[in-house]
Chain A
């Protein structure tokens, strides 16, 4: 890693966010904490944006931070250059959109811990840092101090166990990877930027590392048969933090960052199974949603179903497919967040979770929320002239060679999911409104600005996709280049 960034933007952004988290924890006023968290996140978002710009200046090569100490902990490359601004912007948007009655200083600090750790995992150039950050994202969900303070319940025990097991497996997998790696110093053995980490692609230890990491990814990502933790968590758990946890897609990120480049030999033979698992999960979730009426569970199943294609695309080892998976990643993150935020806003307005038994007719009093919900939902399932269409087109064309069955499964799954979106939209927004539904306010100014920004991103990304596709294409090239050089080296 000879090239360096102009400024240590990542360290600065993560430090700002960590300080903001501690400051927020110590506050007693929710409003003050919220304002502080928003400012802190805005600053972090700007630093991450700068990181993204620097990453694409590096023409696909990872850039180290110019620091006298701690060099090599963080680095910027096209993959995290795409994800760092996306995730920090998402967290900022969700904090602005979160219904005020849910927001307490502890709730906010839980969300900020999740953001700090996810950003750290994205930016990590060190195996140990990556594994620790990956694990630490779960702290707010495992401790009762954070999200269970409000009226929402904590995560179901089974979900907590599954997430904990996934973290333990990832740590074990990382330790095995460190044992497999070669290098004169420990720091070099821990480095993620060098394609020299694994000595032998086919040893028993390598298989053990691969299996352990794969299990961690399956559990965290909610792939079949571990998909069952997601819907009950969405149904009973804190919706907005869970959306942020799920939309970190750290399972998919671990696949792109660890498994593909560090174990290229085994990945070539065993990873198609993961791609097929992704397709199976997508199909199963879409079919399960047919008989689902709870909006929260329906949102969870839609998220699982659509996001499972990311894994299939990443695993395809084809530039179009990987780029498609990364564009799809952006779409899933933005669209599902809008859907969840609008739904959470509606729940807060009505004061109770919706049951989906009858048509609520909320479009009369909240037409803008209805439009935001409809556009985000349709973008998620690939409506033309939105970024979703571009993502699905790339995914489909990129994976046809490796997964010809995707040519059939993707249209079927998106057709079913589009039906579920329209069904959910109709349940919430159409029909004759009740008296209580007539009095709820439409999108508040703070909601309107954030939701408009998200919708504009989805629509402009669909009308003029060149820029938003170029970044994932560079990232895909970077991933494939790393995989190729690792494969060459291991041979």
Chain B
């Protein structure tokens, strides 16, 4: 029965490899063929996970493992390929196979005759592989594999409409945020190896037996705090938590089906999944649990506030998702794992539906309006009424400015790095002039200034303003 896990995880990867190889060899598959291959893949995957669930229920097993030996080994170090389906991963894997299948079916018409049709399906299948790998990983090392693939496909789909500059800029911004936060995950996992000598879940958390959510951390308090905070940093990036939430509205540049599957359903929940998986470690440090709760609360407030002032449907849904993710973080912080898991599952389904219906929102409204005989009640004015009028308008302005989030990030985060790079470039230019044994080139500082200015056209406007300030 454990081989069913292999089918669920590797089948989407195989399909994406197949589609990619056909494209590279110049063999043009019809849209129908691509759609059928993808549909069949997720039908088999969903069937497999259902069979697996049935067998687990029948035998009373809480966990099924598939060990594929060592991926590679060198000296005493080896990288075990271990896939696990347990009470945490089962609902999420089931959700993934069903939702990716649904999105695939939806996209057949949505992207009909789009020049990027094949590209979309290759990326969707890579995402399907990445997300199931992430949810079934038996170690943090394997989580990194799925994590990176999910992030990369997310970025490539945000820049899907590559002939416009804005989606490309947004994709780069999102990629930058992901990579900054991935530093937390990668460093955290490296430290896990350093402190515990392993990154396998069972060896880390279930040394005394039992499966998720039972178990405890084998690390000391200091190590658990450090590793927990780093993992939290990684989770914050994927889950668009404050202060790394600025990428989520920009991610809406991608096609609607990808927005649904990434920012409504699965990708944004990967961060919460990471925290749930590392719950024994996080729960053993009060600092980390406190940080998780504070981050979640701030994000929930920010998401709710800004979302209510958004003018377009997809961004409003994005902010609503961000607010719910904040609440999920709070639940995890309080140790309510089952509620968090239930919340993730329900939230993913609802958001997918909302995103997929977003392009037809006006049409839906008119239909409901007509069905109600033109007597639909006004929306809004519920929670707002409890806030004093003056504060309300101030909060509205703050929400329109997205809580000055981007400005703060520019000044405190990106600005110093850009200034450091500018300074080092100037030093480098002068150093090069010295070793070339010429008089310092008067254009050298200018060229570094020009090179910084070139980023203005290329990166987001917010970065540019900071760079100009740094450049003076």
Contact = CB atoms under 8 A, between A and B. Distances in A.
Interface of A: 156-158, 162, 225, 228-229, 232, 284, 287-288, 290-294, 318-320, 323-324, 356-359, 361, 363-364, 368, 371, 378, 383-385, 389-390, 393-394, 396-398, 400, 404, 407-408, 410-412, 414-416, 418-419, 422-423, 426-427, 429-433, 452, 465-466, 469, 472-473, 476
B149, B175, B417 interface centre (most CB from chain A within 10 Å): B175
B424 A319 contact: no
A324 B74 contact: yes
B168 A473 contact: no
Given A158-B437, A228-B432, A385 B168 contact: no
B123 to A, nearest CB: 12
B148 A383 contact: yes
Nearest to B75: A319
B72 interface: yes
Contacts of B159: 426, 430
Given A158-B432, A407-B194, A426-B159, 12 more contacts: A157-B436, A287-B421, A287-B424, A288-B425, A324-B74, A356-B454, A363-B162, A371-B24, A415-B186, A422-B175, A427-B458, A430-B162
A469 B79 CA distance: 12
Contact of B152 (A292, A378, A472): A378
Interface stretch (B177-185, B243-251, B277-285, B334-342): B177-185
Given A293-B454, A426-B168, A411 B186 contact: yes
Contacts of B452: 291
Contacts of A378: 152
A416 B420 CA distance: 14
A469 B77 CA distance: 12
Interface residues of B, number: 57
Contacts of B437: 158
Given A158-B435, A419-B175, A288 B421 contact: yes
Interface string B124-153: 000000000000000001001110110010
A287 B423 CA distance: 10
Interface in B257-281: none
Interface in B424-472: 424-425, 428, 431-432, 435-437, 448, 451-452, 454-455, 457-458
Given A363-B162, A371-B24, A397-B193, A291 B451 contact: yes
Given A158-B435, A291-B448, A432 B187 contact: no
A408 B435 contact: no
A225 B76 CA distance: 35
A228, A290, A400, A423 interface centre (most CB from chain B within 10 Å): A290
B390 interface: no
B316 interface: no
A113 B79 CA distance: 41
B90 interface: no
Contacts of B74: 319-320, 323-324, 394, 398, 469, 472-473, 476
A380 to B, nearest CB: 14
A339 B149 CA distance: 21
Contact of B179 (A162, A356, A364, A418): A418
Interface in B402-429: 417-418, 420-422, 424-425, 428
B172 interface: yes
A466 B144 CA distance: 19
A390 B183 contact: no
Interface string B225-265: 00000000000000000000000000000000000000000
B400 interface: no
B24, B187, B194, B452 interface centre (most CB from chain A within 10 Å): B24
A404, A407, A414, A430 interface centre (most CB from chain B within 10 Å): A430
Given A293-B451, A465-B72, A228 B435 contact: yes
A387 to B, nearest CB: 10
11 contacts: A287-B417, A291-B418, A364-B163, A400-B194, A404-B194, A407-B191, A411-B182, A429-B162, A466-B72, A473-B75, A476-B75
Contacts of B98: none
Given A293-B455, A384-B149, A407-B191, A465 B71 contact: yes
B389 interface: no
B162 A368 contact: no
